[in-house]
Structure formats: structure tokens, C-alpha cells
Amino acid sequence: MEISQDIVLRPRFFKDLDMPSEEALKAFEQKGKICQNFKVSRIDHHVFIRIPKKEQHFWSPQLHLEIYDVGENKPTLKGLFGPSPTVWTLFMFLHFIVVVLFVVAGIWLYVNLSLDEPIIFPIVSMISLFITWFVLYFAGRLGREAGKKEMLSLYKFMDNTLKA
């Protein structure tokens, strides 16, 4: 599997399956019961494959699979790699805070321009928030890079489970 160099922080993939969707879901359930290297959980037609807690680091990825029927006996697997939901929520919250503060600084700049007040502080704050946004983005890219080996092992586990 090739992980693209696009801007995407949470890589996705699609795969057509040669077995019925319920059979594939059961294969993951059964493999998860005997596998020690990964934690597998299933909710309806969603499967979550995670690294065990003792081997996880901050950027450890998880693989979320959704197996559904497109047409008559044509199941499709949709996969999404990403950090743990807690890390992702924190990451998105920080992005949201930076954007809100950037908008507030923009309003501050507009008000100061309208009142002929000094504009250096609003401009400095907007530039620093823009730099902060880039730092957050590159931290996400570095995190994805740190979990690349684990992503490949998660994908290999998924592939082996479907071939068995």
C-alpha cells in the first residue's frame, strides 16, 4: 500500500471484496480474538483495528474499516487511517482555536484601521497565528510519518485477514 504525499493527514482507501460482507466482518471478529499484536473491535459494519495500549505512542494510528454492500453481492471496504479519537479531537480543537483567534485579530486590525490606531499588534498577532497554524499542520505531518510503519502493519493485518 502506498501512502500518498498529498495534504491529507488521514489517508483513506477503498477496496472491493470477493467475499460477502458478513463473512468479512466475522473474519475480523475471529482473528481479533486470537491476535495479540492488534486490538480488533466491531460495531455493526464498522471494524476498528488498533495497536495494543502498551505499544502505543502519542501518534499511534488506528485503522477504521467500514464494510458495506454497494449492490447485490458486491461488498466494498472503506478504510481510514487516523490517530486515536482523543488525539484527533485535541488536534482539531487547537486548529479551531487558532482560526477563531485569527478572525478576532482580523477584526481587531479592521477596528484599529478604522479608528486610525496603531496596527502593529494586530498584524503581529495575525502573523504569529498563521505561523502557529503551519506548526500544527507540520506536527500532524510528522505524526503521520511517525506512525507510518504501524499504518503499514495495520494494512498488512487487514489484508491477511481478508485473504484467509
* pLDDT bucket at 88, cuts 50 / 70 / 90: confident
- Report the percent of the chain where pLDDT is more than 70: 94
Phi-psi region of 123 (alpha: psi -120 to 50; beta: other; left: phi over 0): alpha
Three-state SS at 104: helix
pLDDT score, position 7: 45
The answer to whether 50 and 157 are in contact (CB under 8 A) is no
C-alpha cell at 2: 502506498
Q: Quick check: 118 pLDDT over 60?
A: yes
Chain centroid, CA 33 distance in Å:
25
Q: Quick check: 70 pLDDT over 80?
A: no
> What's the longest Cα–Cα distance across the chain?
72
- pTM (two decimals): 0.75
C-alpha cell at 23: 463473512
Which residues have C-beta within 8 Å of that of residue 38, sequence separation ≥ 6? 32, 49, 50, 51, 52, 154, 157
* pLDDT bucket at 105, cuts 50 / 70 / 90: very high
Name the helix (H) or strand (E) containing 153.
helix 148-163
Between 164 and 99, the higher pLDDT residue: 99
Ramachandran angles phi, psi of 56, nearest 5°: -80, 150
What integer best gives the mean pLDDT of the chain?
A: 87
The answer to whether 63 and 79 are in contact (CB under 8 A) is yes
- Reported as a single tens digit per residue, the pLDDT across 3-38 is 555 545 677 888 888 888 888 888 888 888 888 889
The answer to whether 43 and 55 are in contact (CB under 8 A) is no
